[in-house]
Amino acid sequence: MQKTAQEILDRADVKIGGNNPWDIQVNNPSFYKRVLTGGSLALGESYMDGWWECEALDQFFDRILRARLDKKIKPSKHLIWNILKSKIVNRQRKSKAYVIGEKHYDIGNDLYKNMLDKRMVYSCAYWKDAKDLDEAQEKKLDLICKKLKLEAGMTVLDIGCGWGSLSKFATEKYGVKVTGITVSKEQKVLADKMCEGLNVEIRIQDYRDVRERFDRVVSVGMFEHVGPKNYKRYMQAVNRCLKSEGLFLLHTIGGNDSRDMIDPWINKYIFPAAVLPSAKQITSVAEGMFALEDWHNFGHYYDTTLMAWHRNFNSRWDKIANGYDEKFRRMWNYYLLICAGGFRSGKNRLWQIVFSKIGSATHYESIR
């Protein structure tokens, strides 16, 4: 089976036991059968178990994704069942809305404090003319505010507000009133502290339950958790909450193909029931409600952002380690670096999309 594995990896110029940083070193000979029969899920789990090593996982994934090796290995019966189930079952239905909060965002504020920038922005930074992560994230927040054309006194709905970074920034810099919603209890605890004394309200609430109307709606890094079966309902919720002359900015990771589920390893260990939308899926559900004003792609900046998070995570591991074991450390590194490789290879995209409501008198000029 080693020969078969090497023949597949040859297409990406990856060697077993090679000397390049993207080559892999196998510690357990059972690795080959496990991965050839279990696909990407087994690849990640065997790394977590220490069955193989790679000096530069980001470079490894960049190479195998460019070579489309993820298409070469037949999916297991378990994966085929999950694919079929995702087509039938609404995995992101309202009763499941808080699972992602519990499984990912509630695992420890100290982890995120040490990994992220000083404002705790957990989404792609805007690195144009930025010297470090803190500046790149501030530039991203300001870019969003400028694209929304915020003015003092406006009301803003922040769907998926995280730890309140954008809500806090928009209120302080632009004088708006923000309502931020999250499905994470831990995020709300810290967001309340970060936004204390400001014109910001943080709620634990599903987007489907918001009924007020706002001058602006923004959603950063949350649409990936909505799911194709709910895209239309999500847009209807935004349409209901947005005033007739309002603007809506959607910041989301996207994919080149329309899919019903994410990579099985990411689904199991990092973002349960997440799906990366395609451009077609987004525009088709917006049709009839929203006019497309601007579409900005800067996915190459997510590679830079993830590598900065990776450096922070590892350089500050001594501050984080008390709450986690070695298997978690390997899992988290794998997560950050497989994602970096995904953006570097062009498999994943990062889009900021601005919509106005159909019938609006808004004359929008794009901001860069």
> Which residues are the active-site residues?
339
The sign of the torsion formed by the CA atoms of 278, 284, 289, 292 equals positive
Q: Which residues of 48-77 are buried (b: 16+ CB within 10 A; e: fewer)?
A: beebbebebbbbbbbbbbbbebeeebeebe
Distances (CA, A) of 312 to 79, 136, 149, 336: 33, 15, 33, 11
84: left (phi over 0), alpha (psi -120 to 50) or beta: alpha
- Gyration radius of the chain's alpha carbons: 21
CB 82 within 8 A of CB 265: no
Q: Which residues of 299-310 are buried (b: 16+ CB within 10 A; e: fewer)?
A: bebbbbbbbbbb
Q: Which residue in this structure is represented by tokens 């931020």?
A: 180
Pairing of strands 24-26, 52-54: antiparallel
Half-sphere exposure of 200 (CA within 13 A, CB side): 27
d(CA 248, CA 215): 9
Residue 200's DSSP bridge partners are 178
The sign of the torsion formed by the CA atoms of 140, 146, 148, 151 equals positive
Distances (CA, A) of 79 to 82, 228, 279, 293: 5, 19, 25, 38
CB 161 within 8 A of CB 184: no
Strands (DSSP E) along 161-260, which ranges?
A: 177-182, 200-204, 214-220, 242-255
